[in-house]
Chain A
């Protein structure tokens, strides 16, 4: 096992680096787009701070459509967009584009559900104190839901690691690519197992990190 690790460590660590690069960048961009979208959904929802049925259902539908396309299909379908944005369709950087497109609506729904958990009484109290909508979003909705948002971030990151493995099978590199090349094409079951183990460790570490972070910043139960 150790010998195997020594032989494949450079390959696996390269793959891990690519996987984390794709996942990290896609998560970042997905939140840049998904966070405002989630806020918009909550704000324009029935009984929200800026109720607007038209905007709410319009973006609701866009998000639903985005979420209903399986990632493998989406990745192939957006190849022209990927080429336009990344300038190429192979490699980890190119994979960030479809990963971002798949994750943004996912993040929007996660953020929406986190913000919707905030007690409506607290929002009304802030309104009574003369808070503007902007202040309600930044100081009440986001401030009160931070632990829940962090848990959402861990769900997104781990889901994207899974997606990135699919992207890897289609030329993006990363750990998914190693599993396909060695595990499948060369019949190296041992390398396959090593890759799977590495993925398990990475996912556990990420989950643990965000769980501890979320619990550490939550002021409700202490």
Chain B
């Protein structure tokens, strides 16, 4: 469903060039919960930004259902964005709007009728367990609740794929667990493909059926989570798993 081919991203600054991604290839199948794990600065956030069309690749392609998303412009780009949901580490909610309006936001952008929005928002809020918080403002919610709102918002346009950038890094372990359970539930019941960027091995272990390890701007290992974690082939995977490098 998602295919990354020869993706390279170079940031050219005033004095030097930084290669964030170097000739990266990856295939993510429909229905996967795909973990992309790596240390800080490995290039995982850049990869996600290329996937959700926030960055333009320097070269290479990102195919979504066979369509090269990097080549899209104007209206097609906007419509493709509506086919994906994104959840950020910092929630990025509208602080001046209620929980209801936050979840409704992506729908109001594409002119959805009010009655349809009301129905959709109600079902999403019940999915994430926040039906009683519809009229609250984000500042009144805990971190875990905010991330649930962000999740409901990301799902509002019925996306085919959900990108999560360090979705639990700001949350405590108990809240992390409930958010991950929710993600798994969403994947199972709605059939949404989920891509999770993280530096936490426990997140991948808990819900990802596949994983790719990224280090120094390229993938060093990938495959079924159990295989990669049970038989790590590289130092970086060992380090992420908590073993000291051999």
Contact = CB atoms under 8 A, between A and B. Distances in A.
The yes or no verdict on A and B being binding partners is yes
Interface of A: 119, 121-122, 124-132, 135, 139-140, 143-144, 146-147, 217-222
B96 interface: yes
Contacts of A129: 81-82, 86, 105-106, 109, 153, 157
B96 A139 contact: no
A147 B95 CA distance: 11
B82 A121 contact: no
B159 to A, nearest CB: 10
Given A130-B106, A130-B109, A220-B139, A125 B81 contact: no
Interface residues of B, number: 28
Contacts of B110: 130
A219 B139 contact: yes
Contacts of A119: 90, 92
B50 to A, nearest CB: 13
B94 A128 contact: no
Interface in B97-114: 97-98, 105-106, 108-110
A217 B97 CA distance: 11
A219 B99 CA distance: 12
B111 to A, nearest CB: 10
Contact of A121 (B79, B88, B98, B140): B88
Given A143-B97, A220-B95, A121 B54 contact: no
The interface residues of chain A, by DSSP majority, are classed as helix
A218 B96 CA distance: 7
A47 to B, nearest CB: 12
Interface of B: 52-54, 78-79, 81-82, 84, 86, 88, 90, 92-98, 105-106, 108-110, 137, 139-140, 153, 157
B109 A222 contact: no
A48 B82 CA distance: 21
Nearest to B90: A121
A36 to B, nearest CB: 21
A124 B82 contact: no
B79 A125 contact: no
A166 to B, nearest CB: 37
Contacts of A131: 109
Given A130-B78, A130-B109, 16 more contacts: A122-B93, A128-B53, A129-B105, A129-B109, A130-B157, A139-B108, A139-B109, A140-B94, A143-B94, A143-B97, A217-B96, A218-B96, A219-B96, A219-B139, A220-B96, A221-B139
A122 B92 contact: yes
A146 B96 contact: yes
A117 B53 CA distance: 24
Q: Which A-B residue pairs are the 8 nearest by beta carbons?
A: A125-B92, A130-B81, A129-B106, A219-B137, A121-B92, A130-B82, A130-B78, A128-B86
